[in-house]
Structure 1
Amino acid sequence: MSANWTSEQILALSPDASSTKNGKALANPGKWSSLGHNEQALWGECLGSGKNPYRTQIDLTEPAFKCSCPSRKFPCKHGLGLFLLFANDISKFSGNVPPEWVISWLDSRKERKAKQTEKVKKEVDPATRAKRAQKRLDKVTAGMQDLELWLRDLIRQGLATVQGESYSFWDGTAARLVDAQAPGVARLVRQMGSIPFSGEGWQERLLAQLGKVYLLIEGFKNLDKLSPEVQADIRTQIGWTQTKEELSKKQGLKDSWLILGQNVEEEDRLRAQRIWLWGKQTQQTALILNFAHGSQPFDTSLVPGTCIDAELVFFESAYPLRAIVKNRDGIPTPLHKIPGSKTIAEIMQTCAQALARNPWIEQFPVALHDVIPNQKNGIWFVYDAHKHPLPIQPKSRKNWQILALSGGYPLDIFGEWDGEYFLPLSVWTDNMLVSL
């Protein structure tokens, strides 16, 4: 097996079950010719339904894929098959100089990166930027003022009245916030729409969400009195973004970053991918957040269960979590161990300290050592050595798999904590990270 990749890591890149099945079938040396590899790439030609074989190539430094087949999936079944064959039997690949079609692709990738770097250096006219910023500030200010009046009316009438309201009650307010160029607050308002129908304790959950929104309003009204880091958090929650171009100009944090897990969520055809990293030397947690519309593919270069040497630049925040990868060196290496705490109490204390600095954190990374999964009264938990429970998110569909992997014995686990439930994303077993 390849020293750097496992079948589980490769199949985690698959866009769907069909691609996984077909990719496994193509991990057969009899279906390939001209197999080759070097430190940067691997390539091969696969006989398909057409007259000419499909040319498939993979940039191992990301990884990134390209194939001449007509599939719109990314990576396609040929890319998965070639990668799986490489991981399972590297001896089938000769170490030689890449053919011209591989060299051309690698060169085009270098040129594209160079153009992106050049684009970052170009400055927007300061006067135009200032005028545009003031115009948006005026719209957001008006929108937040209207939101405060709406919020006060809602509280004055009483929370019990909202159960009689349709979803348009929330969606209409959210739409006006979008028009006011405050999409972040609009999302928080839309989330409230389902809370009154979420079962027992909905009043407390709704009040907590209303409190977060009101805190955001008050923070925005007193923005100039707050520290730059807190100002950045408020602006981010409202909907201002720190662009990757701006961040790329800043000095980052260099480290060997362990890729611990990823989660993909979808809302109105907009998919969000969260990838969690941990710095080996700095012990800094990092969140790489990507978005894709519809069937648009995600970046596949950060594979859970691997480690990369990279420079990360963090978004400004009172509790920095989100970051971008500015530079990376070499090819990914295998993960040998995951970090973590041995007690749930320690995790809760760390989370509380983070929320004290940024109360709008919605998902907090949790890595726990030596926990045992089990269920009680139909609810799943993970228990630490002190028998303290952490409830697992009801929407999790991998609980029996986690129990099977543990065999009833303690194991290490990584996931996200949303303040109410823990969502497992990966477990450490048999000296490898298994994505869930």
Structure 2
Amino acid sequence: MDGMDEQRAERWTADQVLALAPDASSRKAGTVLAAAARWSGTGVSGTAVWGLCAGSGSVPYQAVVDTAGPAFRCSCPSRRFPCKHTLALLLLWAGGEVGSAAHGGGRPGWVTEWLDARRARGERTSPGRRGASGGGDPEAARRRAERRAGRVAAGATELEQRLADLLRGGLAGADREGYRQWEETAARMVDAQAPGLASRVRELGALAGSGGDWPSRLLEETALLHLLARGCLRQEALPGPLAATVRSRVGFTVDSAEVLAGPRVRDRWLVLARHDAADDRLTTRRTWLHGESTGRTALLLSFGAGGRAPEPALPVGLNLDAELAFHPGARPLRAALGSRHGAPLPGRVPPGVPVAAALGAYGEALAGDPWLDAWPVVLAGVVPIPGGTVWQVADADGSDAVPVTAGGAGAGAGLWRLAAVSGGHPVTVFGELGHQGFRPFTAWGGAGAEPVPLTV
């Protein structure tokens, strides 16, 4: 009996399955295909679920899922990931309509082949093996790093001069030359290999002339950009964690393999939320985790290009026994997912805090990292209060409240979904708290309740 069979696939809910869908059309198509009459040869063994789905051709599609990943494979030509067939298979399994392989003669060969190949790839790409295989010429890497550091320093110096010229001319007239001056400055930062500085310059350009109080907001953001540029030029004088934060904000990245080679934190991690943001070329996935014993919150960032959804595709509400390695920083949040132990289990409602305590936590986080856009918090015992243009979430006793902000497609539907979960009663809500308010991602209606994703 191999490791796959020693673990038992804990059954998910239909909501957890549908939360994996890359888009609304896949979600709808998967629901339609989740009919037992369309499937044959289904089975479950350990953490593997598989089946054959009749399609338009004479040969059925082979779909298999490793729920410990989760990871997916289907022989259909779809570029969506997971495809409608794997979603339908998981919906059947969640509904108890996929039987154990013990009653059907064991796993088919194509399932075993895929699982073995996954295990082999995992062994080849484990952090230990990567370190043993070497990583190129260390001296050449050092020279490249020095050249980039010199270019970034020159770019930060030029940015300081441009900001000084901007202030000398007065912010009130910063909108007269249009966006061209900002884009030209951003391009200079890209040339200097400082993409973080370029991104913040573009944000300044978007502020100029936007709304009646834009000069004051532009002054605030200009001050933060000046602080970041000065920090970049004086990294050696900063404490180590703050210097790491400055480097990440400027645009220096740390490879996940390098992070995983350092200290790790093992815990039972609850998947709090998952949110995908897509543009024409790239899909960015943000997955939030909460440690049961450590109480730490972690952010997994992953990216998918060419219309493919990023991995991992962790359903909201699952509880993973796993190791995380945190990226360096003054307020470490971003983490890399390391080894996992055993199959995921159903999670519980996470512990939360009232509004005042959440605001205090956000303030402390800003003191360590003034460039933070938002801070993850779990609010407990709060009630959503609908409004015309501004919603709020308030403590059940009415002592404190915070405005709700929700952007992107489906934002309004997510707010009404939150109101429906509450029904006027206190709920637990996870989201990001920023200077504009609280953005909710997931809600729990009460003790033992299933998580309800609020974003699409």
TM-score normalised by structure 1 residue count: 0.96
The partner residue of 1:276 within 285, 288, 303 is 288
Instruction: Give the CA deviation at 1:267.
Output: 4.9
What residue is the counterpart of 1:45 in the other structure?
Answer: 52
Task: Judge conservation of contact 1:57–1:65 (CA < 8 Å) in 2.
Answer: yes
- 3-state SS of paired residue (2:286): strand
Q: Structure 1 73/265 Cα, relative in aligned 2: closer, same or farther at 3 Å?
A: closer
Distance in 1 (CA, whole Å) between partners of 2:91 and 2:337 is 26
Structure 2 unmatched ranges of 5 or more: 1-8
Paired AA for residue 362 in structure 1: D
Within a 5 Å distance, the mapping from 1:283-362 to structure 2 comes to: 283-341=295-353, 343-362=354-373
The equivalent residue for 1:434 is 452
Amino acid at match of 1:380: W
Partner of 1:399: 415
Give the Cα separation in 1 of the matches to 2:406 and 2:87: 32
Deviation at 1:289, TM superposition (A): 1.1
Give the distance between the partners of 1:304 and 1:256, measured in 2 at CA: 14
TM (normalized to structure 2)? 0.91
How far has the Cα of 1:120 moved from its partner? 3.9
1:98 aligned partner, one-letter code: R
Question: Do residues 173 (structure 1) and 180 (structure 2) align?
Answer: no
Letter in 2 for 1:221: L
Partner Cα separation in structure 2 for residue 221 and residue 25 of structure 1: 57
Deviations 1:320-344 (A, max 9, x none): 1110111111121111211210x21
Contact persistence 1:39–1:60 (CA under 8 A): no
What SS does the corresponding residue of 1:262 show, helix, strand or coil? strand
Cα-to-partner distance string for 1:238-258 (whole Å, 9 max, x where unaligned): 111110121121120000001
CA deviation after TM superposition for structure 1 residue 265, in Å: 2.5
Deviations 1:372-399 (A, max 9, x none): 1113453111111342221111533211
CA distance in 1 between partners of 2:315 and 2:220 (Å)? 35
SS of 1:164's partner is coil
Q: Please show how residues 362-401 of structure 1 align to structure 2 within 5 Å.
A: 362-387=373-398, 388-395=400-407, 396-397=411-412, 398-401=414-417
Pair 1:263 & 2:275 matched: yes
Equivalences for residues 94-133 of structure 1 within 5 A = 94-95=101-102, 97-117=106-126, 118-121=129-132, 122-133=134-145
Letter in 1 for 2:379: L
Write the letter of the residue equivalent to 1:135.
Answer: R
Deviation, 1:169, is 1.9
Shifted more, 202-211 versus 254-263: the winner is: 202-211
2:371 counterpart letter in structure 1: W
Aligned partner of residue 88 in structure 2, secondary structure: helix
| Structure 1 residues 76 and 266: alpha-carbon distance in aligned structure 2, compared to 1, 3 A threshold | closer
Which of the residues 65, 68, 75 maps onto 1:68? Answer: 75
Does the aligned pair in 2 maintain the 1:258–1:335 contact within 8 Å? Answer: yes
Q: Which moved more, 1:73-82 or 1:403-412?
A: 403-412
Matched ranges for 1:210-221 at <5 A: 210-221=222-233
Alignment of 1:16-165 (within 5 A): 16-90=23-97, 92-95=99-102, 97-117=106-126, 118-121=129-132, 122-165=134-177
Q: Name the CA distance, whole Å, in 2 between partners of 1:334 and 1:320.
A: 26
Determine the structure 2 residue equivalent to 1:244.
Answer: 256
1:424 paired with 2:440, answer yes
CA offset at residue 200 of structure 1? Answer: 3.6
SS at match of 1:49: coil
Contact 1:335 1:433 in 2 (8 A): no
Q: How far apart are the structure 1 equivalents of 2:375 and 2:309?
A: 25
Q: How many angstroms apart in 1 are the aligned matches of 2:209 and 2:120?
A: 53
Counterpart residue identity of residue 51, structure 2: G
Question: Do residues 409 (structure 1) and 421 (structure 2) align?
Answer: no
SS at match of 2:307: coil
Residue matched to 1:227? 239
CA distance in 2, matches of 1:315, 1:247: 6
Q: Give the counterpart letter for 2:434 in structure 1.
A: D
CA distance in 1, matches of 2:370, 2:141: 30
Q: Count how many residue pairs are aligned between Structure 1 and Structure 2.
A: 434
Please say if residues 44 and 98 of structure 2, whose CA atoms lie closer than 8 Å, have aligned partners that are also in contact.
no
Structure 1 residue matching 2:208: 3-state secondary structure: helix
Conserved? CA contact 2:40–2:51, under 8 Å: yes
1:187 Cα deviation after fit: 0.9
Identity of aligned residues (%): 39
Runs of 5+ unmatched residues, structure 1: none
